[in-house]
Amino acid sequence: MTVSLPSHAQIIVIGGGIIGCSTAYHLARDHKADVILLEQNRLTSGSTWHAAGLVGQLRSSASITQVLKYSVELYKNLAKETGLETGWKMTGCLRLACNEDRWIEYKRLATTAQSFGMEMHLLSPKEVKAMWPLMEVSDLVGASFLPTDGQASPSDIAQSLAKGARMHGAKLFEGVRVEGFDIENGCVIGVRTNHGRVACEKVVNCGGQWARQLGAMAGVSVPLQPVKHQYIITEKVDGLATDIATIRDPDRRTYFKEEVGGLVMGGYEPNPQSWTLGDVPGDFEFQLFGDDWDHFEQHMEQALARVPALETTGIKKMINGPESFTPDGNFILGAAPELANYYVGAGFNAFGIASGGGAGWVLAQWVAQGEAPMDLWVVDIRRFSDLHKDRDWVNERTLEAYGKHYTIGFPHEEYLSGRPRIVSPLYERLKAANACFGSKLGWERPNWFAAPGAEPKDVYSMGRQSWFDTVGEEHKAVRERVGVFDQSSFAKYEVRGKDAAEALSWIAANDVARAPGRLTYTQMLNSRGGIECDLTVARLAEDHFYVVTGTGFRTHDLAWIKDHIKPRLDAKIVDVTEGWGTLSVMGPKSRDVIAAITKADMSNGAFPFGHVREIEIAGHKVRALRVTYVGELGWELHMPIGATGDVYDALMKAGEKTGIAPAGYRALEALRLEKGYRAWGSDITPNDNPFQAGLGWAVKLKSTIAFMGREACEKAASAPLPKRLAAFTTDDPSIVLVGRETILRNGKQVGYLTSGGYGYTVGRPIGYGYIRDSAGVDDGYVQGGTYELVVAKDVVKAQVHLEPLYDPRNLKVKA
């Protein structure tokens, strides 16, 4: 059958599952876009039709929780608009706890729910039994209950969204397979299909398990892996209420929901099975795999122990179908870094139904406005790197992430698969020094160093972790002597060209166009004034800049800068990360150590803070940046990657008399908390402007230089601040702060912590968070209140601080 496609569309959405239908619906409804949707088979025929349909809302990110809450509100009301029911039932969800660590996790989640304005209750086993009489509760410590969670019919929702999209002017075409893309000057200008070519201005890949190969057609990496997921549907269960709460039983790795008087039961096993590392067949329509009872037996055993009535209940059928999972368990949204007008919404890790409504809402805004509408970093496609183009690695890591779906979320837990992948030249030296490594974007990085003879291994806990005292010694070494951090994983770029200064001046909020030899700490802002990047820019020459940012932000920050270099400027940015090793030498004796191995003048007069110099160490030219993230005298030393070992050896030998010590990222985090340095992705995000974050001093408003976000900053600087970042400490040193704890001011909730940890110099837990008040938050408001933190449901007295807790200039420590 021939399908008559238009010759042109403003936006083409590819994929007719729940994500594609939701995106097309919101583009048409909210943005009046000229949008067409192309589905290669029939709507919902990929993985949407066989999804289990559980709808949960709470996540550790406030923005993603907002996205999921939006889904629920949409599903509640969509039928009124379209006339097609969604099968939505607000049954609430019980999450069961069978051990103390899980119970602590739930108490923290209940606190997070409170922080995000959601209702969550903690129940006793007796209360659980009253709600779910057929459940065996003898092994329970308790359960959490989120009353606004529920369940829905995946196909019905998608069809209702599809009808709504048509009602608002979108055109949906079935039986149209994408065969390629026409690309010109880094943009898609047309989509080629089996029914002809359609010219377009933007493309949105919502291809589900086909999204990876659809991306590959355009040179876009979409790192997801289809994994087989099984569940059963039972016959009617006697005594089961139709409005019974859904159950997540993570310690038994299973879930349940009511369906037509019976139960849907599935689970997340620690030994999952991936489907294919090759392309998914285009004709895989409304298809399933064969029943695999041997593999599913582990779930049956656990389910029978939890709901004994299943022993005498028949099974209607098993569903064994593929779902798209990702290497970190978070879905994929946003603008692809490879092309200027190609967007992705895929890899939903079996949360597509819960996420679909909200994901389509924010993705449509992103596509229409060219900018994410809120902080969506945890799902941003730009969190990945070239590493994620390796299908074998993605498969291995994705299977580990799937297996962790229901494990306890211990703070600081590391993935183990696919390691080591990328190592610095110091890897063997640091390993010999008893380093316990973590991994960031594929790089092995020392988190902490075990004492001689001790095993460098994390032992995870909900309380103080195994490395607590050891990290305290590293912290002390940096504060009192000198520590060396291997930060070779830092993302590093060079910007060159006669217009390089002009290009960066537009993108950076601070004045980076200073004289050669100067170093500038700056944010890069979106149109709302929100912080998109947080980095340092060193000017090496009139036409040459060196940009350094965090390891995990490599793809994101590079793409942000590339996207915002104005056309026709002579300015090019190149990623040079693997070309340069980085050693951060920090502490009051750092100058003595470096001065002993270089002829360069390291004195304060010759080498002030905020400057960059080329010096020589161990026969190698080194870019020395005088900057600190720990609050002590220090330098970042950047050298050609092959010279890293020589420079490190020279430093360690010269520092023997001063008590030099290697230090890791756990100590770095504790040090930065004491000094009040912000961390992008937690303390500062695209939701926060520099003035709210206490970084207004780094915005060049006193100049007349135009920069992105300037108008928003001018408004923010001249009006009361609705929120403001502050530090909090508790008197009780045993309190463990991890972030998202609720902030109470005079007994009233005013915000939540964005990050938390421990300050070894001040001897107290430290957290940062925004204090909110619509009337304005100034110094008087902050200091005029009495504060408490809600930590795992316990209310703890706290002190608030607007100045750094530690100041090395006068050795002042604030308690």
Model pLDDT for residues 695-741, shown as the tens digit of each residue = 999 999 999 999 999 999 999 999 999 999 999 999 899 999 999 99
Q: What is the 3-state secondary structure (H, E, C) of 641-682?
A: HHHHHHHHHHHHHHCHHHCCEECCHHHHHHHHHHHCCCCECC
Using the 8-state DSSP alphabet, how is residue 694 labeled?
T
Is residue 107 a part of any domain in this protein?
yes
CA distance 76 to 79: 8
What length is written for the chain? Answer: 815
Is residue 611 a part of any domain in this protein?
yes
| Helix count and strand count (H, E) for the chain | 18, 40
Model pLDDT for residues 592-638, shown as the tens digit of each residue = 999 999 999 999 999 999 999 999 999 999 999 999 999 999 999 99
Is residue 364 a part of any domain in this protein?
yes
Among 187, 240, 563, 186, smallest CA distance to 372 is for: 563
Is residue 789 a part of any domain in this protein?
yes
CA atoms within 13 A on the CB side of 183: 16
Residues 100 and 201 in one domain: no
CA distance 237 to 11: 47
**Given 611, 638, 659, which residue is the final one in a domain?**
659
Among 422, 538, 430, 536, smallest CA distance to 485 is for: 430
Tokens of 206: 């919502």
Q: Where residue 249 sits, what CATH number does that domain have?
A: 3.30.9.10
Range of the domain at 572: 491-659
Tokens of 186: 């880094």
Is residue 648 a part of any domain in this protein?
yes
Tokens of 707: 């920069």
* pLDDT bracket for residue 810 (50, 70, 90): low
Which residues, including other chains, have CB under 8 Å from residue 518's CB and lie 6 or more apart? 538, 539, 610, 611, 612
Residues 368 and 316 in one domain: no
Tokens of 18: 């729940």
Per-residue pLDDT at 59: 86
Residues 218 and 237 in one domain: no
Is the bond leading into 420 cis (omega within 30 degrees of zero)? yes
Is residue 460 a part of any domain in this protein?
no
**Residue 121 reports pLDDT greater than 50:** yes
CA dihedral (714, 718, 719, 721) in degrees, to 10, reads 80
Helix, strand, coil content of the chain in percent (nearest 5): 30, 30, 40
Q: Looking at residues 755-774, what average pLDDT do you find?
A: 97
Per-residue pLDDT at 53: 81
**Residue 154 reports pLDDT greater than 90:** no
Residues 653 and 557 in one domain: yes
* pLDDT bracket for residue 814 (50, 70, 90): very low
* Type of residue at 621: K
Per-residue pLDDT at 815: 39
Residues 627 and 555 in one domain: yes
Residues 520 and 609 in one domain: yes
Q: What is the DSSP string of 751-814?
A: EEEEEEEEETTTTEEEEEEEEE-TT---HHHHHTS-EEEEETTEEEEEEEESS-SEETTTTEE-
Residues 654 and 638 in one domain: yes
Residues 569 and 624 in one domain: yes
Q: Are strands 93-97 and 54-55 parallel, antiparallel or unpaired?
A: unpaired
Residues 753 and 652 in one domain: no
Among 83-92, 525-534, 748-757, name the one with the lowest average pLDDT: 83-92
Q: Where residue 807 sits, what CATH number does that domain have?
A: 2.40.30.110
**Given 322, 337, 364, which residue is the final one in a domain?**
322
Residues 50 and 134 in one domain: no
Is residue 802 a part of any domain in this protein?
yes
Residues 194 and 313 in one domain: no
Q: Looking at residues 196-212, what average pLDDT do you find?
A: 97
Residues 233 and 214 in one domain: no
* Domains: count for the chain: 4
Tokens of 550: 């965090």
Model pLDDT for residues 347-394, shown as the tens digit of each residue = 999 888 889 999 999 999 999 999 999 999 999 999 999 999 999 999
Per-residue pLDDT at 809: 67
**Given 277, 299, 322, which residue is the final one in a domain?**
322
Q: Looking at residues 187-203, what average pLDDT do you find?
A: 98
Q: Where residue 532 sits, what CATH number does that domain have?
A: 3.30.1360.120
With contact defined as beta carbons under 8 Å apart, do 53 and 75 qualify? Answer: no
With contact defined as beta carbons under 8 Å apart, do 359 and 237 qualify? Answer: no
Residue 735: alpha-carbon gap to chain centroid: 25
* pLDDT bracket for residue 442 (50, 70, 90): very high
Which residues, including other chains, have CB under 8 Å from residue 657's CB and lie 6 or more apart? none
Mean pLDDT of all residues belonging to the chain: 96
Is residue 156 a part of any domain in this protein?
yes
CA distance 469 to 538: 36
